Chains A and B, each alone.
Chain A
Amino acid sequence: MIAFVTRRLLLGLLTTWLISVLSFAIIQLPPGDFVDAYIAQLASSGSAVSAEEARSLRELYGLGQPFYVQYGKWIARVVVGDFGESMEWRRPVIEVIGDRIWLTLALSFAALIVTWTLALPIGIYSAVRQYSFADYIFTFFGFIGIAVPNFLLALVIMYFAFTMLGASVGGLFSAEMTLAPWGWEKAWDLIKHLPLPAVILALAGTAQLVRIMRANLLDELRKPYVVTARAKGLSEMRTVLKYPVRAALNPFASNLAYQFPQLISGGIIISIVLGLPTVGPLLVKSLVAKDMFLAGTIVLLLGVLTVIGTFISDLVLMWVEPRLRHQLD
Chain B
Amino acid sequence: MATDADRYAVASQAQLIWWRFKRHRMAMISMVVLAVFYILALGADFLATSDPQATDSRTSYIAPQPIHLFDADGSFRPWVAGIKGVRDVKTFKLVYTVDSNRRVYIEFFGHGYKYSFLGLETDRHLMTLKDAQRGEGIYLFGTDLLGRDLWSRLAVATRVSLTIGLVGVTISLFLGVLLGGLSAVYGGVIDTIIQRAIEVIRSLPAIPLWLGLSAALPNDWSVTQVYFAITIIISLLTWTDLARVVRGKFLALREEDFILAAELAGASQLRIVFHHLLPSFTSHIIAAVSLALPAMIISETSLSFLGLGLRPPAISWGILLQDAQNVQTLALAPWLLLSAVPVVLVILAFNFLGDGLRDAADPYG
Tell whether any CB of A sits under 8 Å from a CB of B in the complex. yes
Question: Chain A interface (Cβ within 8 Å of chain B)?
Answer: 11, 14-15, 18-19, 22-23, 26, 29-31, 143-144, 146-149, 151-152, 155-156, 158-159, 162-163, 168, 257-258, 261-262, 264-266, 268-269, 272-273, 283-284, 287-288, 290, 295-296, 298-299, 302-303, 305-307, 310
A287 touches B215 (CB 8 A): yes
Most chain B CB inside 10 Å of its own CB: which residue of A151, A158, A258, A284: A151
Known contacts A143-B351, A149-B343, A299 near B196 by CB under 8 Å: no
Complex Cα spacing A305 to B204, Å: 10
B205 adjacent to chain A (CB < 8 Å): yes
Closest 4 CB pairs of A and B: A29-B216, A287-B215, A265-B207, A26-B212
Minimum C-beta distance from B214 to chain A (A): 8
A287 touches B308 (CB 8 A): yes
Known contacts A147-B351, A168-B327, A269 near B203 by CB under 8 Å: no
Known contacts A15-B200, A287-B212, A155 near B330 by CB under 8 Å: yes
B334 adjacent to chain A (CB < 8 Å): yes
B298 adjacent to chain A (CB < 8 Å): yes
B132 partner residues in chain A, CB cutoff 8 A: none
A306 partner residues in chain B, CB cutoff 8 A: 203-205
A288-B308, A295-B215 given; name 12 further pairs at CB < 8 Å. A15-B200, A15-B203, A22-B209, A144-B348, A147-B348, A155-B324, A261-B206, A268-B208, A272-B325, A299-B208, A302-B208, A303-B204
Complex Cα spacing A102 to B208, Å: 17
Stretch at the interface among B36-44, B168-176, B299-307: B299-307
Known contacts A14-B200, A31-B218, A261-B205, A147 near B308 by CB under 8 Å: no
Q: Name the residue on A nearest B307 (C-beta).
A: A288
Complex Cα spacing A138 to B321, Å: 28
Listed by A's residue number, 6 A-B pairs whose Cβ atoms lie within 8 Å are A14-B200, A148-B344, A152-B343, A159-B330, A269-B302, A269-B305
Minimum C-beta distance from A158 to chain B (A): 5
Q: Name the residue on B nearest A10 (C-beta).
A: B196
Within 8 A of A (CB), among B300-345: 301-302, 305-308, 321, 324-325, 327, 330-331, 334, 337, 340, 343-344
B207 touches A149 (CB 8 A): no
Q: Name the residue on B nearest A289 (C-beta).
A: B215
B352 partner residues in chain A, CB cutoff 8 A: 143
Complex Cα spacing A163 to B343, Å: 23
Known contacts A30-B216, A146-B351, A296-B212, A258 near B203 by CB under 8 Å: yes
Complex Cα spacing A155 to B293, Å: 23
B202 adjacent to chain A (CB < 8 Å): yes
A298 touches B215 (CB 8 A): no
Complex Cα spacing A295 to B301, Å: 21
B204 touches A26 (CB 8 A): no
Known contacts A14-B196, A19-B204, A148-B344, A290 near B327 by CB under 8 Å: no
B200, B203, B211: the one within 8 Å of A268 (CB): B211
Chain B: interface secondary structure? helix
B331 touches A287 (CB 8 A): no
B208 touches A265 (CB 8 A): yes
Minimum C-beta distance from B292 to chain A (A): 13
Complex Cα spacing A298 to B325, Å: 23
B71 adjacent to chain A (CB < 8 Å): no
B362 partner residues in chain A, CB cutoff 8 A: none
Known contacts A14-B196, A168-B327, A23 near B212 by CB under 8 Å: yes
B205 partner residues in chain A, CB cutoff 8 A: 261, 264-265, 302-303, 305-306
Minimum C-beta distance from B334 to chain A (A): 7
A11 touches B337 (CB 8 A): no
A262 partner residues in chain B, CB cutoff 8 A: 206
B199, B215, B344: the one within 8 Å of A152 (CB): B344
B213 adjacent to chain A (CB < 8 Å): yes
A31 partner residues in chain B, CB cutoff 8 A: 218
Complex Cα spacing A19 to B209, Å: 9
B211, B216, B327: the one within 8 Å of A284 (CB): B211
Q: Name the residue on B nearest A211 (C-beta).
A: B355
Complex Cα spacing A144 to B343, Å: 12
B202, B211, B307, B308: the one within 8 Å of A258 (CB): B202
B302 partner residues in chain A, CB cutoff 8 A: 149, 151, 269
B337 touches A156 (CB 8 A): yes
Known contacts A149-B343, A151-B305, A269-B306, A288 near B215 by CB under 8 Å: yes
A155 touches B325 (CB 8 A): yes
Minimum C-beta distance from B1 to chain A (A): 25
Q: Name the residue on B nearest A257 (C-beta).
A: B203
Complex Cα spacing A283 to B209, Å: 11
B294 adjacent to chain A (CB < 8 Å): yes
B179 adjacent to chain A (CB < 8 Å): no
Minimum C-beta distance from A60 to chain B (A): 22
B218 touches A283 (CB 8 A): no
Q: Name the residue on A nearest B334 (C-beta).
A: A159
Complex Cα spacing A29 to B214, Å: 10
Minimum C-beta distance from A94 to chain B (A): 17
B347 adjacent to chain A (CB < 8 Å): yes
A11 touches B208 (CB 8 A): no
B334 partner residues in chain A, CB cutoff 8 A: 159, 163
Minimum C-beta distance from B360 to chain A (A): 16
A257 partner residues in chain B, CB cutoff 8 A: 203
B216 partner residues in chain A, CB cutoff 8 A: 26, 29-30
A151 partner residues in chain B, CB cutoff 8 A: 302, 305
A11 touches B306 (CB 8 A): no
B200 partner residues in chain A, CB cutoff 8 A: 11, 14-15, 18
Q: Name the residue on A nearest B302 (C-beta).
A: A269
A264 partner residues in chain B, CB cutoff 8 A: 205, 207-208
Complex Cα spacing A281 to B156, Å: 29
Complex Cα spacing A168 to B196, Å: 45
Minimum C-beta distance from B297 to chain A (A): 9
Give 1 or 0 for each of B247-269: 1 = CB within 8 Å of chain A CB.
00000000000000000000000
A152 partner residues in chain B, CB cutoff 8 A: 321, 340, 343-344
Complex Cα spacing A272 to B306, Å: 8
Q: Name the residue on B nearest A261 (C-beta).
A: B205
Q: Name the residue on B nearest A286 (C-beta).
A: B215
Complex Cα spacing A113 to B325, Å: 28
B324 partner residues in chain A, CB cutoff 8 A: 155
